[in-house]
Amino acid sequence: MKEEGMVFVLPLRICLLAILIVGLMSFIGCGDGDGGGSSTIGAGNVQAIKITEVMFIPSTGAEWVELYNASNGQMIDLSLAEIHNIKGDVFQIPFGTPEIPPGGYALILFGEETTSINSSNVDDNCTVLRIATPSDNVFDDSSDSCTFYSPDGSAIDFVAWGDYGHSGHYISNVETYGGDGPVNEGESIGIHPDEYQKSRPTAWVIYLPSQISQGEKNPVPAPKPIVPFDGTNLADAQVSFAWTDWYINTQDFYLEVDDDAYFRSPDISVLADGTPYHATTALPSGTYHWRLRSRTKSLEESPWSNVYTFTIAAPTRSRLVKENDLNMEAMLQRKDTSWLCPGCSKDDTKHPWDKPHAFEKKSQCQHCKAYCGRACVAMVNKKFNGELSQDRISFWMFASQLDPAAQLGHGKGFNGFNVRDSLKLALVGAPECPLKAYSFDDVVKYIDQGCPIIGAIEKEPGQNNGHVVVIDGYEDYEDPAEDRIHVLQPYTEEEERVKNTETQIDQMWIIPENSQGIKEEDPEQNSDTDELKDFEEKRIYNTDPSKPDTDEDGLSDYIEVYAWVWGKGVKARRPINGWNIWNKPNYDDDPYKDGEEDFNKNGNVDPGECDPFVAEKPLKVTLEVAGADGGSPTAELNSQQSRPIGSTGSSAGYFSKEVSFLWCGVLEVGTNSITITALKSGSNDLYDDIQIRNIKILDQDNNKTLLEVASPFHLGDNTVASIYEEWEEGQWHDPNPPSFWAALDGVRIIIKFDWTGYQFE
């Protein structure tokens, strides 16, 4: 009988494998995510826990989540931490869970009856937690998310899959031409092993069943063969091979082709730098098998891919009756301007957020994988002497979105209406481009009229996918089985000769032969000295293209956009709406302009700086004051902003006083000093004799005490003789006798203290 909260410790090989069986109480339900626990529970820094692999469509057994301790030498206690799905269901890790060592893993298995895992798949450094749930289906197969929360309710790490509605770490679980998905039964999603210490949306990949690694470091993901399709028959003996890869730190690929299924003596064995690879030698007729694996820049190899098979039959060409080619120029689908895309990476040199993406023979990033429709419309526009960037075409379709990443259609492909509407906008007079069912006879008819064609590839059953290409020519043979169409492939920027009997095109837009292309303003035009281009300043960010700093706050328009998207500050930035921050010189309404808070103008809150997007609370200086005649001191911080602290209002006893400083521009990284000075009294130009003690400086933003001095000081310029004279004449009103004042500290004291600044993640 299963008991609630029982803990069993069992040996596994030479390690300690802790298996924790938890009853239904571990399923908290649709909660608010407060964790029900305290942030003091647990050893080490739970912030260092990363989700490294998720199985949400198991072919057998339980759904599971793999966690990794990425800390530098800390044991981490997961007690009362939580796993959430997108519905808000909460699965709490019970108190007493064994600590996870640095570099170690925790494997969390969910289900009504979680089955045992194969011990050969578990590393020595793994703790297995079994959490019973009301249902085996914790995560939705098509679209969901997995979030890890600390015991105090803070979201630490997450991954999402499904539609583009998720931000951050993300797998597109749909079949698109060059896309990520779908994730099939028995496959998992995981972080690429070279990305464990990073947090980038592009770090997540799909693993085949043969590559899954429960409780171990994830392998380099294998490439996926595409062309030749598995089981296809080819007439050409010189074969071209194409594949997909995640291109994370990838250097090159090993490609093997053999008529032996065991690859004992490959006919082709090459090291290719990318896809596609065109064989330089012809293969004899027969059946062949091909596979490949990738190699990273650190020379780590992936497992071999799945094996595909193809057959070469000797060509038997009939007579070519006629052919025609419009000789259009192929374009690679890609981000092709310097406009800012907040959805792209700021650190990726090939696919950055602020530059055109690299000209590669494959669309390598989440942004460009969706750009086939834009590229095809741009090809048609250029055919008719127009000039349009793909980013401009994208903006036409998505300008109504609030988020600038969405306005460039980051990760979002065109549907049929987008293709139709963008063709109208790309051609003078908005001509109708009728949509017809595909037929080879119509291809011949319209190409002969000088009409280019955009062809839509048939969607996979049950998938909301799509890919479009341009048809600009044909070859008509006596034998219809040999008829070919000329396809401009935006995915590879090449022209392909595709047999009519093998094409997957099912619909096509016909572009009128006498069309004229629209010419746009130069997308790179920049009238000022910031890095924002005129078009996006006028259309996206509503800034002045003639002024590098529209709101004159000391930060350039570009830096303000950067700061809002990528800059490090004291709180998360980039809401869906709220993109007009660069038109307000003091966004947070504190006493400093934004540029005065960001001293080095780099968009980050560096040590000693304030956050332009957060109104800082002041430094608070507190002390207790007693004055012989009700005197009061002044306080100066780093010789700036002298502030009176105020009279005690009485000559007897200590009274608490405080004064505030805005620390931005005053507090310094390194050595600081506070000066307390007795206040001059009356017209005799003397300093009142006062007593102060319990001096504190508090940083209210971070709730830290920067300075604390409890011992008393005696300030003033009266002599001991004059004090005794007042005493003898009955004019001495201080409750302390004159001996208390025998050793004055002088008119002022200076106390030095160090501050290291705050590094904001």
Task: Give the DSSP per-residue string, 669-684.
Answer: SEEEEEEEEEPEETTT
Residue 685 is predicted with a pLDDT of 64
Q: Where are the domains of the chain?
A: 7-211, 224-315, 325-510, 525-614, 619-755
pLDDT tens, residue by residue, 89-106: 888 888 888 889 988 999
pLDDT value of position 305: 92
Of 675, 389, 704, the C-alpha closest to 536 is 389
Confidence of residue 250 (pLDDT cuts 50, 70, 90): confident
For residue 505, name the pLDDT band (cuts at 50, 70, 90): very high
Reported pTM: 0.58
Q: For residues 521 and 527, what is the distance between their CA atoms, to the nearest angstrom? A: 13
Is-contact 249 298, C-beta < 8 A?
yes
Strands 105-111 and 126-132: parallel
- Please compute the mean of the pLDDT values over residues 506-531 and round it to a whole number: 94
Structure confidence at residue 483 (pLDDT): 94
Amino acid in the structure at residue 215: G
For residues 458-480, give the mean pLDDT. 82
- For 257-303, the pLDDT digits (tens) are 999 999 999 999 999 988 788 888 889 989 999 999 999 888 999 99
Reading the block at residue 193, the tokens are 């092993």
In 3D space, the residue among 659, 657, 670 whose CA is nearest the CA of residue 636 turns out to be: 659
* Structure tokens given for 552: 């004159």
Inform me whether the pLDDT recorded for 485 exceeds 50: yes
In terms of average pLDDT, the best of 99-103, 276-280, 348-352, 373-377 is 373-377
Q: Sign of dihedral through CA atoms 440, 446, 449, 454? A: negative
Residue 646 has pLDDT above 80, yes or no: no
Burial string for 500-512 (b: 16+ CB within 10 Å, else e) reads beebebeebbbbb
Higher pLDDT, 458 or 40: 458
Report how far residue 260's alpha carbon sits from residue 289's, in angstroms, rounded to the nearest whole number: 7
Q: Where are the beta strands (DSSP E) in 211-276?
A: 224-227, 232-234, 240-244, 250-258, 268-272
Query: Is the pLDDT score of 210 beyond 60?
Result: yes
- With beta carbons less than 8 A apart as the criterion, state whether 389 and 378 touch: yes
Architecture in CATH for domain 619-755: Sandwich (2.60)
Which amino acid, one-letter code, is at 689?
D
Burial class (CB in 10 A: 0-12, 13-18, 19+), 730: exposed
* Residue closest to 159 by CA, chosen among 173, 148, 172, 145: 145
Measured CA to CA, the distance from residue 206 to residue 91 in angstroms comes to 24
Instruction: Name the burial class of residue 452, with classes exposed (0-12), middle (13-18) and buried (19+) by CB atoms within 10 angstroms of its CB.
Output: buried
Least confident of 440-449, 693-702, 746-755: 693-702
* CB-based contact 353:341 (threshold 8 Å): yes
Poorest-pLDDT segment among 29-43, 141-155, 176-190, 684-698: 29-43
633 touches 692 (CB < 8 A): yes
- Report the candidate in 210, 237, 235 with the shortest Cα–Cα distance to residue 224: 210
Write down the pLDDT at residue 630: 53
Whether residue 455 contacts residue 468, with contact meaning beta carbons closer than 8 Å, is answered with yes
Angle at 388 between CA 385 and CA 394, to 5 degrees: 145
Contacts of 61 (CB under 8 A, 6+ apart): 109, 111, 114, 115, 117
Q: What pLDDT does 314 receive?
A: 67
pLDDT reading at 629 higher than 60: no
Confirm if 543 and 557 have CB atoms less than 8 A apart: yes
Q: According to the model, what pLDDT value does residue 140 have?
A: 87
Q: Is residue 209 pLDDT above 50, yes or no?
A: yes
Beta-carbon contacts of 294 under 8 Å, excluding residues fewer than 6 positions away, are 220, 221, 222, 223, 245, 250, 252, 253, 254, 301, 302
**Quick check: 199 pLDDT over 60?**
no
Between 461 and 495, residue with greater pLDDT? 495
| Contact of 748 with 690, CB cutoff 8 Å | no
Interaxial angle between packed helices 390-398 and 372-383, expressed in degrees from 0 to 180 and rounded to the nearest 10: 120
Q: Give how far the C-alpha of residue 538 lies from the chain's centroid of Cα atoms, to the nearest Å.
A: 27
Task: Note the pLDDT of residue 121.
Answer: 36
The CA-atom distances, in angstroms, between 403 and each of 167, 201, 408 are 12, 17, 9
User: What pLDDT does 736 receive?
Assistant: 67
Give burial (CB, 10 Å; 0-12/13-18/19+) of 65: buried
Strand partners, 591: none
What is the mean pLDDT of the segment spanning 574-597? 76
Give helix 416-426 / helix 372-383 axis angle, nearest 10°: 30
pLDDT, tens only, 683-735: 556 677 788 889 999 887 667 888 999 988 888 776 666 777 777 777 766 66
Beta strand 277-278 with 268-272: parallel, antiparallel or unpaired? unpaired
Mean of all residue pLDDT scores within the chain: 81
pLDDT of 527 strictly over 90: yes
Q: Which DSSP category does 608 fall into?
A: T
Residue 154: which of 75, 29, 39 has the closest Cα? Answer: 39
pLDDT cut 70: percent of the chain above it: 81
As its CATH architecture, domain 224-315 has Sandwich (2.60)
Give the residue from 611, 619, 564, 557 showing the smallest Cα distance to 589.
611
CA distance from start to end of the chain: 47
The pLDDT value given to residue 657: 85
Domain 325-510: state its class: alpha beta
55 contacts: CB under 8 Å, gap ≥ 6:
63, 64, 65, 188, 212
Classify domain 7-211 at the CATH topology level. Answer: Immunoglobulin-like (2.60.40)
Flag whether pLDDT at 576 surpasses 90: no
Between these two residues, 379 and 699, which has the higher pLDDT value? 379
- What's the CA gap between 293 and 250, in Å, rounded? 11
Scan for tokens 């210490």, then name that residue: 197
- Examine the pLDDT at 114 and tell me if it is beyond 50: no
Q: What is the pLDDT of residues 295-326, one digit of tens each?
A: 988 899 999 999 999 998 866 668 899 999 99
> Does 43 score more than 70 pLDDT?
no
7-211 and 224-315: same fold?
A: yes
Q: What percent of the chain has pLDDT over 90?
A: 33
Say if residue 327 is exposed, middle or buried (CB neighbours under 10 Å; 0-12, 13-18, 19+).
Answer: exposed
Q: How far is CA 404 from CA 275, 395, 528, 537, in A?
A: 32, 9, 21, 12
**DSSP per position, 41-101:** -SSS-GGGEEEEEEESS-SSS-EEEEEEE-SSS--B--TT-EEE-TT-EEEEPPTTPPPBP
CB atoms within 10 A of CB 582: 28
Sign of CA dihedral 194, 198, 202, 208: positive
